[in-house]
């Protein structure tokens, strides 16, 4: 189910990148999120030359924008679960960089040939969650994404970091992106960090 919904995940990624960091934490996460939709839809529907160089340039632009709003370190730490403790600092930094690109590329591959002009986002309640033990504020933003007549529930899970709101998980049809990856890595406890890093490099052909 999660793989089937990767296209909706891409919508999630694109919708949130255009306004969150500009507004900062002074606004509620829901207000910042809603304000970004119109610009995101315009960008998603801009024509791109069907050549690899143009696609790579577009995807790099999207990734840089996504990196401004996604908290990739928290996402990666959550995905690795208990494996995170086995990585030293250098390995963690390298894994975060590689993993974030692999995740983004999996979204980008779903967007080719798609028409975003009829996407409708209906936002529901913004739920302020209990702060973390270190006092970091968190929020869940509920929404329904309608595309080609199909309605998909999506929850944006955000936290306040460096005076702005960042996404650290996306829940699509009740399936958490972080939990989905954590299940994949749970069985990898016998693999060394170096092996897992090498596999990500192979996926990215680095």
Q: What is the pLDDT of residues 122-156, one digit of tens each?
A: 888 889 999 989 999 999 989 898 888 889 999 98
Q: Report which listed range, 40-54, 55-69, 191-205, is most confident.
A: 191-205
The more confidently predicted of residues 22 and 49 is 49
| Residue 185 confidence (pLDDT) | 94
Angle, to 10 degrees, between the axis of helix 72-80 and the axis of helix 89-108? 100
The more confidently predicted of residues 19 and 84 is 84
Distance separating alpha carbons of residues 125 and 128, to the nearest angstrom: 10
Secondary structure percentages of the chain, helix, strand, coil, to 5: 55, 20, 25
- Short-list 75, 69, 43, 93, CA closest to 162: 69
| 105 Cα distance to chain centroid | 11
The more confidently predicted of residues 54 and 195 is 195
| Residue 119 confidence (pLDDT) | 78
> What is this structure's pTM?
0.81
Specify the length of the chain in residues.
206
């Amino acid at each position: 189910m999660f793989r089937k919904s990767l296209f909706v995940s891409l919508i999630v990624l694109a919708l949130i990148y255009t306004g969150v960091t500009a507004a900062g934490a002074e606004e509620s996460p829901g207000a910042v999120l809603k304000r970004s939709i119109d610009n995101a839809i315009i960008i998603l529907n801009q024509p791109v030359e069907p050549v690899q160089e143009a696609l790579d340039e577009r995807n790099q632009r999207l990734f840089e924008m996504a990196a401004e709003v996604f908290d990739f370190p928290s996402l990666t730490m959550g995905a690795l679960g208990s494996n995170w403790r086995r990585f030293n600092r250098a390995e963690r930094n390298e894994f975060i960089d590689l993993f974030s690109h692999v995740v983004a590329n999996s979204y980008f591959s779903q967007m080719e040939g798609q028409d975003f002009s009829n996407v409708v986002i209906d936002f529901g309640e913004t739920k302020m969650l209990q702060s973390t033990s270190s006092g970091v504020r968190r929020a869940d933003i509920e929404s329904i994404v309608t595309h080609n007549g199909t309605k998909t529930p999506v929850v944006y899970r955000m936290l306040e970091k460096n005076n702005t709101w960042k996404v650290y998980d996306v829940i699509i049809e009740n399936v958490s992106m972080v939990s989905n990856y954590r299940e994949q890595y749970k069985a990898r406890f016998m693999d060394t960090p170096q092996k897992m890093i090498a596999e990500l490099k192979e996926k990215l052909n680095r």
